[in-house]
Structure 1
Amino acid sequence: MDAPTAPSELFKRIEASFLRQGLMQHLGARLVRVEPGLCEVALPYSECVNQQQGGFHGGAMGALADIAGGYAALTQVAPDMEVTTVEYKINFLAGFKDGELRAVGRVTRAGKRIIVTTAEVLHLSPDGKQSACALMQQTIAPIPKTY
Structure 2
Amino acid sequence: MSSSVAPCALFERVSQSFARQGMMRHLEARLLRVESGCVEVALAYGDKVSQQQGGFHGGAMGTLADIAGGYAGLTVAPQGMEVTTVEYKINFLRSFQNGELRATGRVVKAGQRIIVTSAQVVHVGADGKESVCAVMQQTLVPVPQTY
Both structures adopt the same fold (TM-score exceeding 0.5): yes
Amino acid at match of 1:122: V
Matching residue of 1:66: 66
Structure 2: give runs of 5+ residues left out of the alignment. Answer: 1-6
Structural mapping, 1:80-91, within 5 Å: 80-91=80-91
Identity across matched positions, percent: 67
State the secondary structure of the residue aligned to 1:14.
helix
Structural mapping, 1:119-130, within 5 Å: 119-130=119-130
Structural mapping, 1:96-107, within 5 Å: 96-107=96-107
Matching residue of 1:48: 48
Structure 1: give runs of 5+ residues left out of the alignment. Answer: 1-6
Structural mapping, 1:1-147, within 5 Å: 8-147=8-147
Q: Deviations over 1:46-80 (max 9, x none)?
A: 10000011100000000000000000000001221
Higher helix proportion (structure 1 or 2)? 2
TM (normalized to structure 1)? Answer: 0.95
Amino acid at match of 1:68: A
Q: Deviations over 1:100-128 (max 9, x none)?
A: 00000000000000000000000000110
Amino acid at match of 2:40: E
* Coordinate RMSD, CA, aligned: 0.7
State the number of aligned residues. Answer: 141
| C-alpha distance in 1 between matches for 2:8 and 2:102 | 21
Query: CA shift at 1:145, angstroms?
Result: 0.1
TM (normalized to structure 2)? Answer: 0.95
| C-alpha distance in 2 between matches for 1:95 and 1:42 | 16
